[in-house]
């Protein structure tokens, strides 16, 4: 079969390492080309890297190259990941299916030449692995683990009490880490008081602590500027300002003590981060997770609760405090009110208050007689 004028696929292959076998060279060039396409869409390197690793896992599991994949291989791969002691969740399975579908869609796009290359070299053409008959349908708004829920007020207090007790226990055991434990307690309280995600919390700088002229009583801690909010695909991080609410005014004292007394003992120098490590670096999202797990275990709370549950708690408790839904949505940086509603898990007491108010509004004085 005559080869036409070289396209994108042929140019990538020409640059590939010559000592690779032809099939491996083509597979490598495919992944390189797909990575470049995603980079041109300004997707994050982390996103691109995780997608490429998934394609590599699919290849390793099947022992086949992408032009040999069939729906049967895709089904077997997902079935394998859904089995065992630690199966992937439904939302993860869908994400994997979508990712593999995007990769195959790239290969089938005539603008990139890969179908022609595969036909010329191997006599086969890639085909879509997942379709309506074998992929996870998105039928509900929220598919998160139902065990992840807001903490109630007693659980929040127990978590903070456990975090506050850790520095003294560490000192009593003659171990290092008491200062880090003081920092961890402050971090967890700030995460709850402002409803921030773990990466948002990690990326906060001192300059992100702002005054709020409408609430001068909070001084320099009247608001927090979140500059690295969760981004949509191909978009820069979203920004928002989170206001300190009166019900969370205790966090002002926590932050004052951290900034003025505890943080300087880490010798951060000119490092801009709000939360710093013993080595004068920025506290990582993973370390914030670990701080939550340590406090949760010390408090004897449900092991299925994770750091993100504090964000669920923040949304729920703001609602129970009586803040309008739109205000809560803006505080947490959700684009849609429906997303905020998913996080909400108000108590029966709050629901009963709403019911009582509705009945009073409808029945007037007759409500007191019925009550």
The per-residue pLDDT for 18 is 47
The per-residue pLDDT for 369 is 44
Measured between alpha carbons, how far is 141 from 338 in angstroms, rounded to an integer? 9
pLDDT at 144 exceeding the cut of 90: no
Q: Which residue has the higher pLDDT, 9 or 78?
A: 78
> H or E stretch including 13?
helix 8-15
The per-residue pLDDT for 233 is 66
How far, in Å, are 47, 151, 315 from residue 324 at the CA level? Answer: 35, 21, 11
The per-residue pLDDT for 2 is 42
Range from 5-19, 20-34, 84-98, 132-146 carrying the lowest mean pLDDT: 5-19
Give the pairing of strands 238-243 and 223-229: antiparallel
Give this prediction's pTM. Answer: 0.70
pLDDT at 15 exceeding the cut of 80: no
pLDDT at 9 exceeding the cut of 90: no
| Residues labelled as active-site residues | 197, 230, 308, 311, 334, 343
Among 296, 262, 103, which residue's Cα sits nearest to residue 192? 296
| Per-residue pLDDT tens digits for 314-369 | 999 999 998 998 999 999 998 877 777 777 766 666 666 655 665 566 666 554 54
The per-residue pLDDT for 7 is 59
| Per-residue pLDDT tens digits for 207-261 | 999 999 999 999 999 999 999 998 776 678 899 999 999 999 999 999 999 999 9
The per-residue pLDDT for 347 is 61
The per-residue pLDDT for 84 is 81
| Per-residue pLDDT tens digits for 34-73 | 999 999 988 889 999 999 999 999 999 999 999 999 999 9
- Burial (0-12, 13-18, 19+ Cβ within 10 Å), 274: buried
| Per-residue pLDDT tens digits for 89-143 | 888 888 999 999 999 999 999 999 999 999 999 999 999 999 988 887 644 444 4
How far, in Å, are 15, 18, 33 from residue 12 at the CA level? Answer: 5, 12, 7
The per-residue pLDDT for 265 is 95
Residue positions counted in the chain? 371
| Per-residue pLDDT tens digits for 283-306 | 999 999 999 999 999 999 999 999
Measured between alpha carbons, how far is 119 from 260 in angstroms, rounded to an integer? 67
């Amino acid at each position: 079969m005559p080869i036409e004028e070289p396209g994108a696929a042929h140019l990538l292959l020409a640059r590939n390492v010559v000592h690779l076998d032809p099939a491996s060279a083509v597979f490598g060039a495919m992944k390189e080309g797909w990575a470049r396409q995603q980079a041109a869409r300004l997707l994050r390197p982390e996103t691109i890297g995780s997608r490429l690793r998934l394609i590599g896992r699919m290849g390793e599991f099947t022992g086949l190259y992408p032009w040999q994949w069939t729906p049967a291989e895709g089904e077997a791969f997902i079935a394998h990941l859904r089995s065992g002691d630690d199966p992937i969740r439904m939302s993860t399975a869908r994400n994997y299916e979508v990712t593999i579908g995007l990769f195959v869609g790239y290969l089938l796009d005539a603008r990139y030449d890969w179908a022609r290359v595969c036909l010329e070299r191997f006599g086969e053409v890639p085909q879509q692995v997942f379709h309506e008959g074998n992929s996870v349908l998105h039928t509900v708004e929220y598919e998160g683990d139902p065990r992840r829920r807001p903490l109630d007020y007693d659980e929040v207090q127990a978590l903070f009490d456990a975090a506050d007790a850790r520095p003294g226990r560490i000192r009593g055991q003659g171990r290092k880490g008491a200062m880090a434990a003081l920092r961890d307690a402050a971090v967890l309280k700030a995460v709850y008081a402002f409803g921030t995600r773990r990466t948002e919390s990690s990326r906060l700088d001192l300059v992100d602590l702002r005054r709020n002229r409408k609430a001068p009583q909070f001084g320099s801690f009247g608001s927090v500027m979140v500059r690295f909010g969760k981004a949509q695909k191909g978009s820069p991080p979203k920004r928002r300002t989170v206001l300190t609410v009166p019900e969370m005014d205790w966090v002002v004292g926590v932050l004052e003590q951290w900034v003025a007394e505890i943080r300087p003992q880490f010798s951060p120098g000119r490092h801009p981060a709000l939360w710093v490590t013993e080595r004068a670096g920025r506290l990582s999202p993973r370390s914030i997770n670990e701080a939550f797990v340590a406090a949760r275990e010390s408090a004897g709370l449900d092991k299925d609760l994770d750091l993100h549950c504090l964000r669920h708690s923040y949304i729920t408790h703001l609602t129970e405090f009586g803040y309008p839904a739109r205000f809560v949505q803006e505080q947490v940086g959700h684009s849609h009110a429906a997303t905020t509603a998913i996080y909400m898990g108000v108590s029966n007491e709050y629901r009963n208050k709403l019911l009582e108010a509705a009945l009073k509004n409808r029945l007037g004085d007759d409500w007191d007689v019925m009550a």
